[in-house]
């Protein structure tokens, strides 16, 4: 087989593997190089998302939710079970099986689409050659007309709380704890801290989250953040805001923490410490010195609006470039780049990328927050509707939270939709479609929504923008 390809993708995460499949669908001879090693020591395609991110975290969130429902929520439905227990080997084993199913599935998709996989570390050399170093140190070089860099991201490490894989852990470690820790410390009340903090809290760990910023979930709409914080605290999460970790010392299988807040210095001892203070683009060993590909001040690969690096035939996508670090954002960039390479009209709109946090209640949004609109001087109007007035939510005993629709004050165009409550990870899709089609609040308000469903909250919030919600005072 010739070592010359139309497209080589470096990285088989949700950005890279999707780019490779789309390129192959378009008739391009495609290779995908990935270095990820799974729990069994073999190549595991799918990157962070499938191996140690989206999929395993959702598996553990769902298992822990079942247990929490059994012990905390089902009694309200008249259902109770005595001596509910979690078998940790099954709990973690189920997650591992799901990961294996999906990472293996990428291999089958590669086969079906004739993408050639390579196992090893890829390095872009000048002239669109890629040097691949295998785990055994062997080297080979392949080349292509186009190279797509999709090397993803890794967790940020704090210099005074370095990961040891045992007591001080990152996301991968927090997805593989085989005994519920009595006390879990979490640094960072971001997406990972809240999702994985919730998993272990639901199983009975005493979870304390230290967040450096004074505001809770500063990236989200603050009305949504307020509801979420109150609910998380009710579930037993301790969240300390404006709390900066200054020291973390592992002593006899415990971690002694020192943190500072407005009241001074405090100490806290935990059994495990999850550090989840954000992720950074991973480009170590990716680029030879003379490729001409540039990195920005945060170490991300510089690209234009078409994900082109400015070097002939070299593109970059996913967590390694600007924009939200989300799987679906990377995948859509991958599709768009493959289509641009094939001379088609690729499309990616970063303004409508939805965010979802898979806690209970769930949090989801798309578009701008009120704060962002205020800062930009954009005039807006808002409509809200609480799940407490939605029959389906009440029947489910999950009538928490609300939907908030923000529309332009003059044109009524949808600018942002923010949700906290049951099932909002699915409800947000309607808002994204409406925003992508440049819809207005009135468009959403005129669409028939099935009754009784949670989606009626979106309908009523859109009606409420014009003060004509039916099932609440306006």
Q: Which residues are catalytic?
A: 451
Name, in order, each residue with C-beta under 8 angstroms of 208's C-beta and a sequence gap of 6 or more: 183, 184, 185, 186, 238, 240, 268, 270
Binders of ligand NAD: how many residues, by CB under 6 A?
A: 25
Q: Is 224 in the site for ligand NAD (CB under 6 A)?
A: no
Kindly tell me which of 20 and 373 has the beta carbon lying closer to ligand FAD: 20
Asked whether 311 and 146 are in contact (CB, 8 A), the reply is: no
Task: Determine if 189 is a binding residue for ligand NAD (CB under 6 A).
Answer: yes
Q: Binding residue for ligand NAD (CB under 6 A) from 29, 95, 279, 300?
A: 279
Question: Applying CB under 6 A, which residues contact ligand FAD?
Answer: 10-16, 33-36, 47-49, 53-54, 57, 121-122, 150-153, 171, 192, 282, 285-286, 318-320, 325-328, 330
The one among 49, 60, 68, 195 contacting ligand NAD by CB under 6 A: 195
Nearer to ligand NAD (CB atom), residue 6 or residue 176: 176
Compare residues 13 and 422 and give the one whose CB is closer to ligand FAD.
13
Question: Contact 19/10 with Cβ under 8 angstroms?
Answer: no
Shortest distance, position 57 Cβ to ligand NAD, whole Å:
6
146-185 in b/e form (b: 16+ CB < 10 A) is bbbbbbbbbbeebeebebeeebbbbbbbbbbbeebbebbb
Residue 403 binds which of ligand NAD, ligand FAD, none (CB < 5-8 A, kind-dependent):
none
358 binds ligand NAD (CB under 6 A): yes
Is position 187 an interface residue for ligand NAD (rule: CB under 6 A)? yes
Please tell me the total number of residues recorded for the chain in this structure: 474
* CA distances (Å), origin 381, targets 143, 221, 403: 54, 14, 14
Give phi and psi for 384, each to the nearest 5.
Answer: -130, 155
Q: What is the nearest approach in angstroms of ligand NAD to the Cβ of residue 201?
A: 16
SS3 429: helix
CB of 414 within 8 A of CB of 385?
no
* Residue 213 found at the interface with ligand NAD (CB under 6 A): yes
> What's the closest the beta carbon of residue 157 comes to ligand FAD, in angstroms?
14
Q: Are strands 129-133 and 121-125 parallel, antiparallel or unpaired?
A: antiparallel
User: Which residue from 56, 117, 185, 193 is in contact with ligand NAD, where contact means CB under 6 A?
Assistant: 193
Q: CA dist 225 to 16, 222, 363, Å?
A: 33, 5, 9
By CB under 6 A, tell whether 191 contacts ligand NAD.
yes
Contact in structure between 472 and 460 (CB atoms under 8 Å): yes
| Binding flag, residue 333, ligand NAD (CB under 6 A) | no
Q: Which does 245 bind (CB under 5 to 8 A by kind): ligand NAD, ligand FAD, none?
A: ligand NAD
| Residue 83: φ, ψ to 5° | 55, 40
Contact (Cβ atoms closer than 8 angstroms) between residue 203 and residue 69: no
Q: Cβ closer to ligand NAD: 65 or 244? A: 244
Site for ligand NAD (CB under 6 A): which residue of 326, 419, 434, 469?
A: 326
Q: Judged by CB under 6 A, which stretch of 211-219, 285-293, 294-302, 407-415 contacts ligand NAD?
A: 211-219
Of 5-13, 23-31, 186-194, 280-288: span binding ligand NAD (CB under 6 A): 186-194
Contact predicate 456/386, CB 8 Å: no
Residues interacting with ligand NAD, by CB under 6 A?
158, 187-193, 195, 210-213, 244-245, 276-279, 324-326, 356-358
């Amino acid at each position: 087989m010739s070592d010359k390809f139309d497209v080589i993708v470096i990285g088989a995460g949700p950005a890279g593997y999707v780019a490779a499949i789309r390129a192959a669908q378009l008739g391009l001879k495609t290779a995908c190089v990935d270095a990820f090693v799974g729990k069994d020591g073999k190549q595991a395609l799918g990157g962070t998302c499938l191996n140690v991110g989206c999929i395993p975290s959702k598996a553990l969130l769902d298992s822990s939710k079942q247990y929490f429902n059994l012990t905390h929520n089902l009694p309200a439905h008249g259902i109770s079970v005595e001596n509910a227990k979690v078998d940790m080997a099954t709990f973690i084993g189920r997650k591992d099986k799901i990961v294996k199913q999906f990472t293996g599935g990428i291999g089958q998709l590669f086969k079906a689409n004739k993408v050639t996989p390579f196992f090893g570390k890829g390095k872009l050399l000048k002239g669109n050659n890629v040097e691949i170093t295998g785990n055994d140190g062997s080297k080979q070089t392949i080349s292509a007309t186009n190279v797509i860099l999709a090397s993803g991201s890794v967790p940020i490490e704090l210099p005074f709380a370095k990961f040891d894989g045992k007591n001080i852990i990152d996301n991968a470690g927090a997805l593989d704890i085989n005994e519920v820790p009595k006390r879990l410390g979490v640094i960072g009340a971001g997406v990972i801290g809240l999702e994985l903090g919730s998993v272990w809290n639901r199983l009975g760990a005493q979870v304390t989250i230290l967040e450096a910023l004074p505001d809770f979930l500063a990236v989200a709409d603050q009305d949504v953040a307020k509801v979420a914080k109150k609910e998380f605290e009710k579930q037993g999460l301790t969240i300390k805001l404006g709390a900066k970790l200054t020291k973390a010392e592992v002593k006899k299988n415990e971690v002694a923490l020192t943190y500072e807040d407005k009241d001074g210095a405090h100490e806290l001892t935990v059994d495990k410490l999850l550090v989840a203070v954000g992720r950074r683009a991973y480009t170590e060993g990716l680029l030879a010195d003379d490729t001409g590909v540039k990195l920005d001040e945060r170490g991300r690969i510089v690209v234009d609006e078409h994900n082109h690096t400015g070097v002939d035939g070299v593109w970059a996508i996913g967590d390694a470039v600007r924009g939200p670090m989300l799987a679906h954002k990377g995948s859509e960039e991958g599709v768009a780049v493959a289509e641009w390479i094939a001379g088609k009209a690729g499309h990616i709109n970063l303004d409508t990328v939805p965010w979802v946090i898979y806690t209970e209640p769930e949090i989801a949004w798309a578009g701008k927050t009120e704060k962002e609109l205020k800062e930009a001087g954009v005039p807006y109007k808002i409509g809200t509707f609480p799940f407490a007035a939605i029959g389906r939510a009440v029947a489910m005993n999950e009538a928490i939270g609300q939907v908030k629709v923000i529309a332009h004050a003059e044109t009524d165009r949808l600018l942002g939709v923010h949700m906290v409550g049951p099932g909002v990870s699915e409800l947000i899709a309607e808002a994204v479609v409406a925003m992508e089609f440049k819809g207005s609040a009135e468009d959403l308000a005129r669409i028939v929504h099935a009754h009784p469903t949670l989606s009626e909250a979106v309908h009523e919030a859109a009606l409420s923008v014009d003060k004509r919600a039916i099932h609440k005072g306006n």
